[in-house]
Amino acid sequence: MDHLQLDRIDTSGALREAAENAGIDRASFLRRGAAAGAGLAVGGTLLGLASPAQAAISSKNKSLANDIKIGNYALTLEFLEAEFYAKAIEANAFATPQLRSFAVTTGAHEAAHVSALRKILGGKAVKKPTFDFGAAVTDSATFAKTAQVLEDTGVAAYAGQGPNLKTRAIVQAALAIHSVEARHAAWIRFINSGGAGPVAGLPAPAGFDKPLSEKAVLKAVTGTGFIKG
């Protein structure tokens, strides 16, 4: 399969960099772009946190307040994924029945994740941002490759925050979601590789996954330009 034309949706190169950190072969991308200008704020808020200072999730001090930050961090990622699949389904941006089946099933899962996290967070839950996915939801090849990067990044994001959680309900939700996100990642990798191909394109390319830090995920998400406010 042709390399994803990420220069249309990842102008800063941040998504490619985060994907590489997650173990995706850099040869799968056109080139590694500079990530200049990738900040933490989009329209005043990003991932439910009002400023870069508030955005810092503690990796040392576990607390309910910290768990709420992590929960909203996860919720916004789920908002992004759910909307990504909903828009692609709306545009019918699929070259094959397999790709459509993946999008419909995965989109329903992401919407369920949003509902679950909103219920757990209650009044502390952040509002849904606005998104613009461009060609990623209207072109089948771009959709397929973008879905793989988003799912791989989501798996690594959950893995990165799991050790920082304290509250049982949020731990349980994160674990239940993390394993499903990993299945999504394997599924889209299988579709994209045609069931074969280079190691980096296989459903399970490595024995261990690398977690992504909050900073790396924020950089990746802002770099896409998908979140508008």
Q: Does residue 190 lie in a domain region? A: yes
Give a yes or no: residue 1 inside a domain. Answer: no
pLDDT along the chain (229 residues), means of 10: 39 47 42 29 41 64 92 94 97 94 98 96 93 95 94 94 93 95 95 72 85 88 85
Asked whether residue 150 is assigned to any structural domain, the reply reads yes
Per-residue confidence (pLDDT) for residue 197, from 0 to 100: 62
Q: What is the DSSP letter of 212?
A: -
Separation in Å, CA 158 to CA 73, 97, 105, 207, 212: 10, 29, 20, 17, 8
Q: How many domains does the chain have?
A: 1
On whether the CB atoms of residues 216 and 19 are closer than 8 A, the answer is: no
**Could you tell me the residue range of the domain that residue 19 belongs to?**
7-24+38-54+61-224
